[in-house]
Amino acid sequence: MAPRLVIFLALRQLWDKKLLNLIAALGVALGVAALITMNSIMQGFQMKFKGEILKISPHVTVYAKELDTSASLGAQWARAAGAKGPVLVTVAHEQPNDRTVSIKRPHELVHALERMPEVEAACRGINGQAILSFGTKNTGVDMRGVDPDEQNRCTPIAGYVEHGSWRAFAGARDGVVLGSGIAETLGAKVGDRVTLVAPAGGAVTLDVVGVFEVGIPAVDKARVYVNLEKAQTVLQRGSQIGRIEVRLRDPEASEPTARRIEAVTGYDTEGWQEANANFLSLFAMQNMIVGIQIASILTVGGFGILAIQIMLVMQRLKDISILRSVGLTRRDILFGVLIQGCLTAIVGGLTGDLLGWRIVKFLGSLKVKSEGLVKSSTFVVYEDPRFFVYGVVFALVVGAAASLVPAFRAARVEPVAVLRGQVG
Amino acid sequence: MTTPVVEARAVGRVLGEEVKQEVLKDVDLSVAPGEFVALTGHSGSGKSTLLYLLGILDRPTKGSVWVDGVDAGPLDDDERAALRNNKLGFVFQFHFLLGEFSAEENVMIPMLRRGVPRDEASGRAKKTLERLGIPELAGRRPGQMSGGQQQRVSIARAIANEPKLLLADEPTGNLDSVNAAVVMELFEKMSDDLGMAMVMVTHDNSFAARAARRLVMRDGRIVEEHARGT
């Protein structure tokens, strides 16, 4: 092959038909712009969601084990069948109050967990459903009984308290901190007195000492924090601890760490990824669907290149024959067309980068009030330079694939057939 | 005995896929270095087909074509392309220049394919255009030239690589008589100056008469052969 000659010829031919090639490039540009825009929006949203989740959720939660379930009857019978001598099989109906729902010696467990190198902090808590009343209004809440100082190390909630303060909560045994949505529903504000009632029958009167807003409507509209002892009282659980929340140094390592804690302590654990598996798998699905859409748009762009290159090859049969007669090989001709297709695609890719960048900037500046999974006042976009590189790389792949057909068509041209047709 | 620049040995060519037609039948032809051979005959007599076979643009159905002592039959496409590039030059009736390139660039392409550096190719292209009396056309594209000018540029392209054999398919067929005469003179001059052999297909008997040898074809065979002046 004569690479420099082939590139020279290809560039000139490309430039000579710049309008047509630009149209083909635009098809690819739209695909690349879509790739960048969609990825920026989705990654932006997903990362914001994960960020919010990580800010407010424990990385790993240790639960009191739900009833150390005996092996099923079937399994017991099976074991019995293989055993020698007498066998005891327990046949009993499980009652909910058989369940051991508290963590034994929680202080020691917290200290033990905090000595693990992966763990930054651990804290005790007890959760339960309750009804919060203010005046004539009631609302169901997700009550979190916590030690205020301990809790703030596990899930730094203090920073999200918008009215009142977490410090005031730490200093007041009868204090309650409401999610902003609950405060709004009840019309309660800092200084108001509210009543908390649990299905188990306990009731306490509390002072609103803070209102927090973390930006996740599901949390802001449901959660209240009360002192550990108050929660235990309301739930009538004595001094039991229902769960221990753990904050890790590396949140991404939640799953292996959770399994390790489970193995060591014998309690059930759940990492934040597992706890939010429904959302995370939704995101994975969403990414796949968007990926298919982008691939479709890029493929359509590729067909643009294919159509125009095929047309140009048919127009240039005479030129191809001349080039072959003066000594260019089939491979020279093949690469000439491939180069044109790839360059068209690269121009399309770079244009798409520019277009995508502008669109992302524009979307980022839009004021949008959204209150779905995550509360946000702007379009959350994430600009990753990798998207722009991917854009050009995908464009190049599409361009190369699309120009294969025209390139082989050009390389197959038999000069004599063309010359004979022309010369007669 | 010197090696012929091109030699056809019992060459036959069948064209057509459904209706087979024997366009060439057992043609033998040998062209000596520097020799000027004219191929004449009616349309469909097989002269263009023979020319394309001699230029190894086409493969014979039977027989063999030798270029400068090399049998072109066993060569693959790339080797045949290289052989064309090094040894052969083509001029066609419809002057076939590449429209996107200037005259100078058109002339440079065969040299660039051969690996001649750009500057040198450019210099040689300019010199060749000068030699053909058209240095002012160097920067022009084919669209800005007359038919006669284009044909002269295509001659420049054909001889730029100093081939051993120039193949011309009715090179004056599309030109008026004045331009045709100019082009014809150029061919003779180049053939004499550079010592290249030439095979020219032509309908014009007055031009054919100027060849060292004039071959008349009919129905795929060479039926008459005349030396100059006979």
3-state helix/strand/coil string of A334-379:
HHHHHHHHHHHHHHHHHHHHHHHHHHHHHHHHCEEEEECCCEEEEC
Is the predicted pLDDT of residue B1 greater than 80, yes or no? Answer: no
CB–CB of B57 and A324 under 8 A?
Answer: yes
CA A288, distance to chain mean position in Å, is 12
User: pLDDT at position A198, please?
Assistant: 86
Query: Which residues of chain A are within 8 Å of residue B141 when distances are taken between CB atoms?
Result: none
Q: Is A331 on the interface with B (CB under 8 A)?
A: yes
pLDDT band at B152 (very low <50, low <70, confident <90, very high): confident
Counting residues of chain A whose pLDDT is more than 70, the rounded percentage is 88
Of A287-296, A400-409, B81-90, B220-229, give the lowest mean pLDDT range.
B220-229
At A79 the pLDDT is 65
Q: What is the mean pLDDT of residues A249-272?
A: 87
- Using an 8 Å CB-CB cutoff, list chain B residues near A333: none
Measured between CB atoms, does A419 come within 8 Å of chain B? Answer: yes
A99 touches chain B (CB under 8 A): no
CA-CA distance, A140 to A278, in Å (whole number)?
23
Is it the case that residue A75 has pLDDT exceeding 70? no
Q: For an interface test with B, which of A320, A408, A419, A422 has the most B Cβ atoms less than 10 Å from its Cβ?
A: A419
pTM here is: 0.76
pLDDT, tens digit (0-9, with 9 covering 90-100), for A312-357: 999 888 899 889 988 899 999 999 999 999 999 999 999 999 999 9
Alpha-carbon gap: A345 to the closest alpha carbon of chain B (Å) = 22
Rounded CA separation A31/A348 (Å)? 9
According to DSSP, the β-strands at A367-371 and A268-271 are unpaired
Average pLDDT over residues B95-118: 89
**How confident is the model over B14-37, as a mean pLDDT?**
86
> Do A400 and A307 form a contact (C-beta atoms < 8 A)?
no
Distance (Å) of CA B194 to CA A135, A293, B120, B164: 113, 64, 19, 9
CB of B201 closer than 8 Å to CB of B170: yes
If you average pLDDT over every residue of chain A, what do you get?
Answer: 85
A71-87 b/e (C-beta count within 10 Å ≥ 16 → b): eeeeebeeeeeeeeeee
| Mean of pLDDT values over A175-193 | 92
Q: Which of A5, A330, A416 is opposite residue B113, by nearest beta carbon? A: A5
Quick check: B77 and A5 CB within 8 A?
no
CA B120 to chain A, closest CA, distance in angstroms equals 14
CB-based contact (8 Å) between B115 and chain A? Answer: yes
Q: Strand B88-91 relative to strand A193-197: parallel, antiparallel, unpaired?
A: unpaired
Tell whether the model's pLDDT for residue A384 goes beyond 90.
no
Q: Which of residues 52-111 of B touch A (CB under 8 A)?
A: 52, 55, 57-58, 77-78, 81-82, 84-86, 90, 92-94, 96-101, 105, 109-110
B174 touches A: beta carbon within 8 Å: no
| pLDDT given for residue A144 in this prediction | 92
Tens of pLDDT, residue by residue over A213-232, are 988 888 899 999 999 998 98
- Give B65→chain A minimum CA distance, Å: 16
Residue B202 in this model has a pLDDT that exceeds 70: yes
pLDDT at A146: 92
pLDDT of residue A423: 37
| B59, pLDDT greater than 80 | yes
Token pair of B31, please? 């062209």
What whole-number distance in Å separates Cα of residue A388 and Cα of residue A251? 28
Place A424 in a pLDDT band, splitting at 50, 70 and 90: very low
Yes or no, beta carbons of A326 and B110 under 8 Å apart: yes
- What the block records as the tokens of B175 is 């030109």
Contact B113 A326 (CB under 8 A): yes
Q: Which residue has the higher pLDDT, B87 or B187?
A: B87
Query: Which chain B residues are within 8 Å of A331, Cβ to Cβ?
Result: 78
Mean pLDDT of the region A85-96: 62
Lowest mean pLDDT among A363-377, B36-50, B191-205: A363-377
Check B81 against A420: CB less than 8 A apart.
no
SS3 A272: helix
Q: Does B162 touch chain A (CB under 8 A)?
A: no
d(CA B150, CA B73): 33
Query: Which of B55, B112, B157 is facing A5, going by the closest CB pair?
Result: B112
Tallying the residues shown for chain B, one arrives at: 230
Indicate the residue of A16, A420, A424 with minimum beta-carbon distance to B100.
Answer: A16
Yes or no, beta carbons of A325 and B55 under 8 Å apart: yes
Per-residue pLDDT at B180: 83
The region of weakest confidence among A13-22, A79-88, B171-180 is A79-88
User: Considering CB atoms only, which of A8, A326, A420 is closest to B48?
Assistant: A420
Which amino acid is residue A420, in one-letter code?
Answer: R
Read off the amino acid at residue B113: R
Q: Among B48, B78, B105, whose Cβ lies nearest the Cβ of A423?
A: B48
Burial of A192 (0-12, 13-18, 19+ CB in 10 A): middle
Nearest chain A Cα distance for residue B1, angstroms:
29
pLDDT value, residue A67: 47
Minimum distance, in Å, between the CA of residue B46 and any CA atom of chain A: 11
Of all residues in chain B, the one with the smallest CA distance to A419 is B92
Please check the confidence at residue A65 and state whether its pLDDT lies above 70.
Answer: no
- ipTM for the whole complex: 0.90
Least confident of A281-295, A409-423, B151-165: A409-423
Whole-number pLDDT of residue B199: 92
At residue A178, does pLDDT exceed 90?
yes
- Check residue A135 and report its DSSP letter: T
pLDDT at residue A73, as a whole number: 61
Q: Residue holding tokens 């188990």?
A: A200
Average pLDDT over residues B128-132: 86
End-to-end CA separation in angstroms for chain A: 32
**Residue B57 to residue A325, Cβ atoms within 8 A:** yes
| Residue pair B97/B103 in contact by the 8 Å Cβ criterion | yes
Minimum Cα–Cα distance from B99: chain A residue? A319
Mean pLDDT of chain B: 87
Strand partners, A226: A145, A176
Q: Does A263 touch chain B (CB under 8 A)?
A: no
CA distance, residue A399 to nearest chain B CA (Å) = 23
